[in-house]
Amino acid sequence: GAVVSQHPSWVICKSGTSVKIECRSLDFQATTMFWYRQFPKQSLMLMATSNEGSKATYEQGVEKDKFLINHASLTLSTLTVTSAHPEDSSFYICSASPGQGGNQPQHFGDGTRLSIL
Amino acid sequence: AQSVTQLGSHVSVSEGALVLLRCNYSSSVPPYLFWYVQYPNQGLQLLLKYTTGATLVKGINGFEAEFKKSETSFHLTKPSAHMSDAAEYFCAASGGYQKVTFGTGTKLQVIP
């Protein structure tokens, strides 16, 4: 149980393109999902908290207009990297939890490797 | 605010040897604690978690961790390392809500 699916797993595109990444909770509902960015050989950096039916909460230093988050339903959140540039190349991971409390572990998607040429 | 410190960005052990990955947390209240494993180009997989109750928690793949409040530690151990254990391991903590703080990760190398 508690499976999170992330798609696509790998994207290569030209600079200036917008890229959409989907995160789905397959067997549970998630009012909150999280988006992380991971640089090579580094830990996960929380980008934003995605809230179903409301605006996402962005961490300090993360550009809201650059990284658009939409949490359209209790099982789907999307991250759109707008007008992507090479410096946006990274590994993006989403997570969600079946429960609301901090004692519920996050379940992670398999990540999306984004490469901007 | 919480912080999680993992001592040693790289740990090498021989196959069959004890695995010990260290994690210390800093929090005004005992947090909920987790260990995750990440294989190359994949997301994170939960190994084990501590919420309340027994301080020694057992996880998947033969791993276990002990919550020691007096030492603010949550070290991960496995009696005998396998080649398949080679991966990156992340210690994480959360408070009353779902937001999680991750350590910087420890890359485990298993030498044949």
Q: What mean pLDDT, rounded, does chain A reach? A: 91
pLDDT at A31: 84
Q: Is the peptide bond before A8 cis (omega within 30 degrees of 0)?
A: yes
Cβ contacts (< 8 Å) between A42 and chain B: which residues? 104-105
Categorize the per-residue pLDDT at A42 as very low, low, confident or very high, splitting at 50, 70 and 90: confident
With 0-12 CB in 10 A as exposed, 13-18 as middle and 19+ as buried, what is A77? buried
Query: Cα distance from B54 to chain A (closest Cα, Å)?
Result: 14
Statement: residue B93 has pLDDT above 70? yes
**Secondary structure element (H or E) that encloses residue A48, with its range:** strand A44-51
Tell me the mean pLDDT in the region B83-110.
90
Query: From CA A113, how far away is CA A90, in angstroms rounded?
Result: 6
The span from the CA of A44 to the CA of A115, in Å, is: 18
pLDDT score, position A39: 86
Lowest mean pLDDT among A19-28, A97-106, B68-77: A97-106
Tell me the shortest Cα–Cα distance from B76 to chain A, in angstroms. 17
Sheet architecture: strand order including B56-58: B3-7, B19-26, B73-78, B64-68, B56-58
**Nearest Cβ partner of A103 from B41, B51, B105?**
B51
